[in-house]
Structure 1
Amino acid sequence: MNVILFHLMGYADLDFEATKQYETVWVNLPNSFYDPVKGHKLYNRYLDELEYAEELGFDGVAVNEHHQTAYGLMPSPIVMASALARRTKRVKIAILGSALPLREHPMTVAEEHAMVDVISGGRLISGFVRGIGAEYHTFGINPTISHDRFHEAHDLIVQAWTKPGPFSFSGRHYNVDYVNLWPRPYQTPHPPIWVPSQGSKETIDWASHPDRRYTYLQTFSPAKTVEKYLQSYRDTAADYGYEAADSQLGWAVPIYVSDTDRQAIREAKHHFELFRNRLLKMPFEMLLPPGYTSRDSLKRVMAAKAMLSQDLTIETAIEMGMIICGSPESVRQRLEEYWKSMRFDNLLTMLHFGSLPEDLTRRNMKLFAENVLPALQSMKAGSGATAT
């Protein structure tokens, strides 16, 4: 199994008491609550933690993209990936992902990802996403054209990475007379493409298509939901006529390790519940604006996200498999059980969440790396097709 440290870079210094009057920390929380001096310290702390992951033996590090929110301070994950490309030597660097429909032009994404891939010597994993519904409010982009813009942007980027230039590209949203990428990616034919998702049927159908076979990542969800969507990917691949490999599947989940189960819950409780019940929460109309997804996928995602309107304790979240929390032995056993039932080959560990302070984050990382990581890395992927 490949084990990656996934960092959201949340604004851990938010005055949660002072912002109680606001329904959500997304889109319209006044930016007067952001302190750039504290932000400076947080950015450098978080980059240090990602670099520490290489020292501890993780297979990769991952960053992502969100806008106008205290949930994550990375409107440009490419900036973070660029910093990591110079400061790390071995780990894969995953951008999970760049929100293609929100970008003015996909050629910029193609160029910047290629630069990171070349600087890192071929260690980039390129994640492509549509961006969550809240971000369409942020940019004033019509969500009904989201899928079209995403697919066309993807096609242009992959062609720019793989076809000799110059050539022309003509589409509905993007028209380029001279596609002639400088630099070209280090990896041939291009960096691996991963697709994080909330469980959209259209995303699963598209990612698993034989022309792509991209790695599908189920984002923060209850374990039963994760298992259902990973199986949906396998079933869709079978309908296409091939067997999906474990390497085409992944799961992102918060994890906290301490000396005992009781101590782990006590240390993580406040910080996880702030993450789950405050930073993550948003109105449904913001998460899923009209036209953002099909009616069928809307029903699926709304059913899976129904608990978003309710606060959860860490104890309930542990039972649901929304966080793995406990002693090293408990965490290792729980992850092994989930792996046996789900058969994913990519685990994205969220070892920082909410307001978890630096000392607890580093201790969590160290305990996980010393007592859990080796067992996970020794698990072997199952048979099946090789993902591109």
Structure 2
Amino acid sequence: MRFGLFGGATAPRLPDVAASAKGFFDFIETNVEAETLGYHSTFVTEHHFTNFGQLSAPLTLLTYLAARTTRLRLGTAILVLPWHNPVLLAEQVATLDLLSHGRLDLGVGKGYRHNEFAGFAMPPDEAEPRFEEVLDVLIRALASDAPFSHRGRFFCLDDVVVEPPPHQRPHPPVWLAASSDGSIAACARRGFNLLLDQFASPRQIGERIALYRRELEAAGHVFEPMRVAVARNVFVTQDAGEKEEALKRQAAINGKLLSLSRGSESRPGSHILGYADTDAQAVIGTAEEVIDRFAALEAAGVAYVLLSGQGSRANLRRFADKVMPKLAT
């Protein structure tokens, strides 16, 4: 198996500027160490208006990280396309891809949180058409060496060419966050890679990978296990007391995510909302217990896991020392 990180950093609005920035700098140092420990990638989220400072400018933070690392793949999971102008986004994406010598993985999605739709004064039923239009223009802008024009429902462009070009041609690998059958099939038909969430069970994950593979091959694309990444909240505990505390922390984290997600503006089937009444599938336990849980994922067809959640550096070291050698390919 291959392992990366998934999550982000926080920088809340505090009177002390250094205290606000601490989460960003801690994130950078954690990922610098993760590279030395053998992690393959880091994927960061995009969120807005949380009141506790979740990362809102992932490409900016990843550009800083690119200068501090040499091998770590730099991913977005996800850029919420309905919030963005596609040409301005393409310029930022291409700049990061150039500066990182082609280490960007471009994860995209539609968004789901009610506070974000409400904050941007965007009707949730516009999420789908905005996503489709922004994605089409973004891909064209990254791939085109000649000026082009566009007339759409939300954007109009005249004779634009994105500068600079990306390092990876025609564009960085695109990863699509999807969970419904329709979204997974659409991802496969486009030949994009698939990001699966941290809440679905191994059985659900296996069904989704099988669907993705069928649709991918039916569209004439080649399936490889590393084209699917699965997020999972992982914490390697040293004893029963630490496990109990980790489970409590995870319950609090899930509660906070649900409180941010519930509301009239939310897309109800999306992300954690679709699993509100189920086991959230966090992998918390001793190294042996974690290895057993990962064996179930591997049996479902998972080859690439993004570790999320309680990602302290001590936890990442324990995982790299006690778990990764048993599972890594």
Give the TM-score taking structure 2 as reference length. 0.89
Q: Using a 3 Å threshold, how does the CA distance of structure 1 residues 3 and 220 change in structure 2: closer, same or farther?
A: same
Structure 1 residue 154, shift from structure 2 partner: 1.2
Q: Using a 3 Å threshold, how does the CA distance of structure 1 residues 169 and 118 change in structure 2: closer, same or farther?
A: same
Match of 2:20 in 1: 39
Task: Please list every run of 5 or more consecutive structure 2 residues that lacks an aligned counterpart in the other structure.
Answer: none
Match of 1:362 in 2: 313
1:188-230 C-alpha deviation (Å, 9 max, x unpaired): 2211000123x23432122111xx2211111121314433433
Match of 1:313 in 2: none
Tell me the distance in 2 between the aligned counterparts of 1:71 and 1:248.
33
Which one-letter code corresponds to 2:308 in the other structure?
M
Which one-letter code corresponds to 1:268 in the other structure?
A
Tell me the distance in 1 between the aligned counterparts of 2:43 and 2:111.
16
Counterparts in 2 of 1:74-113, with a 5 A limit? 74-103=55-84, 105-113=85-93
Counterparts in 2 of 1:172-183, with a 5 A limit? 172-183=153-164
Structure 1 residue 247, shift from structure 2 partner: 2.4
Tell me the distance in 1 between the aligned counterparts of 2:315 and 2:271.
31
Asked if 1:277 corresponds to 2:252, the answer is no
In the alignment, which of 361, 375, 379 is matched to residue 326 of structure 2?
375
Structure 1 residue 63, shift from structure 2 partner: 0.9
Structure 1 residue 72, shift from structure 2 partner: 6.0
1:102-153 C-alpha deviation (Å, 9 max, x unpaired): 11x1111101011110000010001111112422112011222222221111
Partner-residue secondary structure (3-state), 1:254: strand
Counterparts in 2 of 1:3-152, with a 5 A limit? 3-10=3-10, 37-70=18-51, 73-103=54-84, 105-134=85-114, 135-152=116-133
Asked if 1:214 corresponds to 2:214, the answer is no
Q: Using a 3 Å threshold, how does the CA distance of structure 1 residues 128 and 34 change in structure 2: closer, same or farther?
A: farther
Q: Is the 8 A contact 2:185 2:211 kept in 1?
A: no
Q: Is the 8 A contact 1:207 1:215 kept in 2?
A: yes
Extract structure 1 runs of 4+ deviating beyond 4 A. Answer: 33-37, 238-243, 300-303
Tell me the distance in 1 between the aligned counterparts of 2:258 and 2:286.
26
Give the TM-score taking structure 1 as reference length. 0.76
Tell me the distance in 2 between the aligned counterparts of 1:227 and 1:39.
40
Q: Using a 3 Å threshold, how does the CA distance of structure 1 residues 131 and 302 change in structure 2: closer, same or farther?
A: closer
Query: Percent identity over the alignment?
Result: 26
Asked if 1:307 corresponds to 2:277, the answer is yes
Q: Using a 3 Å threshold, how does the CA distance of structure 1 residues 121 and 173 change in structure 2: closer, same or farther?
A: same
Partner-residue secondary structure (3-state), 1:285: coil
Match of 1:287 in 2: 266
Q: Is the 8 A contact 2:228 2:304 kept in 1?
A: yes
Structure 1 residue 57, shift from structure 2 partner: 1.0
Tell me the distance in 1 between the aligned counterparts of 2:53 and 2:209.
26
> In angstroms, what is the RMSD of aligned CA positions?
2.6
Task: Please list every run of 5 or more consecutive structure 1 residues that lacks an aligned counterpart in the other structure.
Answer: 14-30, 290-297, 309-319, 354-360, 379-388
Tell me the distance in 1 between the aligned counterparts of 2:292 and 2:315.
17
Match of 1:163 in 2: 144
Partner-residue secondary structure (3-state), 2:43: strand
Partner-residue secondary structure (3-state), 2:297: helix
Asked if 1:346 corresponds to 2:304, the answer is yes
Match of 1:252 in 2: 231
Q: Is the 8 A contact 2:175 2:192 kept in 1?
A: yes
Partner-residue secondary structure (3-state), 1:150: helix
Q: Using a 3 Å threshold, how does the CA distance of structure 1 residues 328 and 208 change in structure 2: closer, same or farther?
A: same
Q: Is the 8 A contact 1:9 1:73 kept in 2?
A: yes
Which one-letter code corresponds to 1:256 in the other structure?
F
Equivalenced residue count is: 326
Tell me the distance in 2 between the aligned counterparts of 1:304 and 1:351.
19
Tell me the distance in 1 between the aligned counterparts of 2:75 and 2:6.
9
Q: Is the 8 A contact 1:8 1:71 kept in 2?
A: no
